Amino acid sequence: MPVAVVPPRRDAVGTSAESDQIEVVLSHLDRLPTLPAVAAKLLSLTTSDKSCAQDVVAILETDPTLTATLMGMARRTDHGLRVEQLTMSRIVALLGFQRVRNAVLSVQIHNILGDSNDDRTAAQTRQDIWKHSLAVACVADMLTKHVRGADALGDAFVCGLLHDIGKTALDAAMPKSYLRIISRVLQRVCICDAEREVFGIDHLVAGKRLAVRWNLPQTVIECIRMHHQDHATLPSSLVNPDMVRLIQTADRIVRRQHVGFSGYRDTDNLASLLQHWSIDETVIDQIVEKLPERMADYDQLIGLDDEEGRSLYAQSVAKANVELGNINAQLFTSRQQLDRAQACMRAVGVLTNDVVRDATITDVCYASARATLELYAANDVFVFIMNEGLCTIYTASVSSKREDLAAHIAPAVGQEFNVLHKEFERLSHQGPPVSAQEPFVSLWRSTGYTGQSDAVCILPIYDNKTPIGGVLLQADGENSISWSSCATEWQTLSKSIGLAVAMVRSRIAVECNNDELLDLNRRLHVTQRDLVRSRSISMVSEMAAGAAHELNNPLSVISARSQMSLQRCNDPEQAEVWQTLIDQAKNAAEIVTDLMAFAKPGVPQATEISLATLLNTLAQHWETRLDLKPSQLCVSLDNPKSTVFADSNHLTQVLDALVENAVFATNPKTRQLKINSPSSASDETVRIVIEDNGVGMSSAVLEHAVDPFFSFREAGRGRGLGLSLAHRLVAHNGGELWIASSPQTGTTVTIELPARPPHRQ
């Protein structure tokens, strides 16, 4: 069959950069030599096509190298032969056409692609690739004897030999790049991915490309293209899908035996492939046993290596073992890392479990100590967190030696803080771990630690790179883990502790802010209320002062004129009218007086007054003025010697107003008024409590109780200045007045005033 050069064809499509790269690779591939005439001829012949055998012999005889090779092969088969007896026809007869053909093909293709003058690694890899292909070819060839209908499949050896031609081709075209792929494969990257990564195409595509160019049979092309495809999902368009499966089977067997280099390790589909062929493992065992022997032939033929097949096999097994050992070691390391990560997670778990919503810094210390104990399996752990603002050190220590992980939680304060803080500043710049210095160990000892101080090290705790505290660790136990082996885990735990501290601090700060805000709000509210009140009082004051003058004049005229008229009047009825006018004018004037008293109470002339004397005097006064029966008023003093420091006129006005209110609020039949002075918490103040069992006030009324002109009584019964005046006068005398009341239960007014002059405090 004439050798034809097939024009390059695009097998892969991608981005323009990728396609450029692929184009370069393909052009490299196209530059590879074409298949020699001998090989081409041999490939075109099938095993059954013996008529052409003579042609082949003729071709072989023209190639002295091939002739020599085949003679060597024949002699190894039959050692009794002499060289001069060997003709090419005889060799073909002796070895069988198929063996001759396979041998020639192997040699020819190896010569084209497997030639190497590179470094040792590259040469070795190339040999390994060939070894793998040869092994697959041999196994495939052997498998045909165990597979039903294998005769119809065609030449399994050729398909096996050429199935990885793509690798060889890529290697031959771009040897340096291919070395990179090999190194990637050794790092456990799939060879196809590595090839696509470097060349844009993999060996399947490259192989197919070369096969087409060499005009190889379709079956071979399919094997090249499809030998990595899942055997169950091969496209239906394939000419010879079973050959592909056969090659896949052989490939997996060889991979399992670690013969040569395939770039793959998994043998995943082997079981299902065997199932497909209905053959069992014993067959495989037989084939594998024969494999070294079969390969030896070809090895020598191609000159791959001089070692015997058995030793090659042993070497493969040894290699596989080494690899397994490596994997085991890696697994062990991973497990150790996982163990430590798990310990770290457990420790963090302990921490997060213990740091509850309303945790304090001390709680975090304790939780951190427990977490560190968990991480390092230490015997004793001591945690301290510094608070520069408050010059305080929060500490906690736990010990696994003592019963139930005894915890000692105490914030350490005072003079030693500065010493500790200075030392800490110094240590925190040294980097972990540092051996703990005396002040810290002393601090620890103060919580009951009794261990050695030289074995103690400090691991710092950071909050966002700022050292905020540390952990003191006594790591002398047999079970304890060394600090250095857990450096990463400690960083995680340290960060978690830092985070927990920051969280608690910000929560406390927020709470403080909240409290402050609440307090400010309350004070603002009080100030606002006072402002409104003082504003209304100042308005009332101005109005009262104006009204006093304006009202008093007409009142004076009314009163005086009425008096003059009364004097002249002889008619008793008329006289009564004048008298009424006089009285009403007097009442009106009193209102004005009250108003003015409220508006301008005058500077208090405070003196120390005996409360008992004052109350007794006033009680008599009230009994007569307010029609109060002695049984309705109960005056009691916890301390009969109580004094009050106030303006006596003011105080009298206050008590008058309060008692008057109480009388008005109560039913005369059930009226019960109590005035007492309970012993005060402070000697500096005295309290007077006026309690009635009257109608009481709702909260809405209570809210306005001290507002001027707010009267709860019926219209005309009061001027609404009593409580207001009392409140004002008490405040004026440096005291406070507050009211508790509920409807139908009664009202309790409490006055608190200074008990004595300020300078005697």
**Residue placing its CB nearer to another protein in the complex, 197 or 594:** 594
Nearer to another protein by Cβ, of 525 and 600: the residue is: 600
By C-beta, is 71 or 551 nearer to another protein? 551
User: What's the min distance (Å) between Cβ of 554 and another protein?
Assistant: 7
Q: Which residue, 172 or 548, is less far from another protein as judged by CB?
A: 548
- Based on CB atoms, which residue is closest to another protein, 568 or 759? 568
Alpha-helical segments (H) within 600-692: 611-625, 648-665
CA 570 to chain centre: 105
Question: What span, in angstroms and rounded, lies between the C-alpha atoms of 670 and 678?
Answer: 24
List CB contacts of 130: < 8 A, sequence separation 6 or more.
110, 114, 168, 260, 302, 304
Which residue number, 322 or 557, has a Cβ lying nearer to another protein?
557
Q: Determine the length of the chain.
A: 761
The kind and range of the H/E element at 738 are: strand 736-742
Q: Whole-angstrom Cα distance, residue 320 to residue 325?
A: 9
To another protein, the closest distance from the beta carbon of 581 in angstroms equals 11
| 3-class DSSP state of 748 | strand
- Which CB sits closer to another protein, 558 or 569? 558
Q: How far is the CB of 621 from another protein (least distance, A)?
A: 21
Question: Helix (H, G, I), strand (E, B), or coil: what is residue 466?
Answer: strand
Q: Least distance to another protein from the beta carbon of 745, Å?
A: 38
Please state the closest distance from residue 598 (CB atom) to another protein, in A. 11
Cα 461–Cα 466–Cα 469 angle in degrees, nearest 5: 35
> Measured from the CB of residue 659, what is the shortest distance to another protein in angstroms?
23
Q: How far is the CB of 587 from another protein (least distance, A)?
A: 11
Taking the complex as a whole, the smallest distance from the CB of residue 552 to another protein amounts, in Å, to: 3
Least gap, CB of 606 to another protein (angstroms): 16
- Please name which of 298, 227, 230, 210 lies closest in space to residue 260, comparing C-alpha atoms: 298
Smallest gap from Cβ 558 to another protein, in A, equals 7
Query: Residue 131: which residues within 8 A CB-CB, separation 6 or more?
Result: 259, 260, 261, 295, 299, 304, 312
Question: In the numeric block, which tokens belong to residue 8?
Answer: 């390059």
Give start and end residues of each alpha helix (H) in 114-164.
120-143, 156-162
Site residues, another protein (CB under 8 A): 548-549, 551-561, 563-564, 567, 585-586, 589, 592-593, 596-597, 600, 602-603
Residues sharing a CB contact under 8 Å with residue 671, sequence separation 6 or more, in sequence order: 628, 632, 663, 692, 693, 694
- Distance of alpha carbon 199 from alpha carbon 166, whole angstroms: 12
Please state at what angle helix 53-61 crosses helix 97-113, rounded to 10 degrees. 40
- The distance of closest approach from Cβ of residue 556 to another protein in the complex, given in angstroms and rounded to an integer, is 4
Closer to another protein at the Cβ: 356 or 603? 603
> Which residue(s) pair with 688 in the sheet?
751
Measured CA to CA, the distance from residue 71 to residue 62 in angstroms comes to: 14
Tokens representing 184?
């990637």
Burial track 279-315 (b if 16+ CB lie within 10 A, e otherwise) = beeebbeebbeebbebbbbbbbbbebeeeebeebbee
Comparing CB distances to another protein, the nearer of 448 and 546 is 546
Q: Give yes or no for a contact between 368 and 461, defined as CB atoms under 8 angstroms apart.
A: yes
Q: How far is the CB of 387 from another protein (least distance, A)?
A: 57
CB of 582 to another protein, least distance (A): 9
Element (H, E) at 465: none
Helices within 569-647 (DSSP H only): 572-599, 611-625
- Closer CB to another protein, 450 or 605, in the complex: 605
Looking at the Cβ atoms of 46 and 593, the one nearer to another protein is: 593
Q: Which residues contact 2 (CB under 8 A, 6 or more apart)?
A: none
Within 10 Å of residue 25's Cβ, how many Cβ atoms? Answer: 24
Closest to another protein by CB, 296 or 588: 588
Instruction: Please identify which residue in the block is written with the tokens 């009211």.
Output: 739
Output the smallest distance, CB 564 to another protein, in A.
6
The structure tokens listed for 358 are 């309303």
Q: C-beta of 542: minimal distance to another protein in Å?
A: 14
- For residues 336, 338, 341, 345, the Cα torsion angle rounded to the nearest 10 degrees is -130
Eight-state DSSP code of residue 565: H
Three-state DSSP class for 448? coil
Cβ at position 733, least distance to another protein in Å = 16
> Taking a C-beta distance cutoff of 8 angstroms, is the pair 578, 562 a contact?
yes
- Nearest alpha-carbon partner for 105 in 74, 142, 49, 59: 59
Q: How far apart are CA 419 and CA 441, in angstroms?
A: 13
Cis peptide before 433 (omega within 30 of 0): yes
Nearer to another protein, 552 or 676 (CB): 552
Q: Using the minimum distance from each CB to another protein, give the nearer residue, 179 or 596.
A: 596
Is there a contact between 630 and 758 (Cβ–Cβ < 8 Å)?
A: no
Distance of CA 545 to the CA centre of its chain: 72
Q: Which is nearer to another protein, 268 or 590 (CB)?
A: 590
Using the minimum distance from each CB to another protein, give the nearer residue, 305 or 594: 594
Cβ distance to another protein smaller for residue 210 or 729: 729
**Token pair of 74, please?**
């024949």
- Supply the minimum distance, in Å, between the C-beta of residue 588 and another protein: 9
**Minimal distance, residue 388 CB to another protein, in Å:** 58
Q: Which is nearer to another protein, 450 or 553 (CB)?
A: 553
Sheet of 407-412, strands arranged across: 407-412, 392-399, 380-387, 466-474, 456-463, 434-435
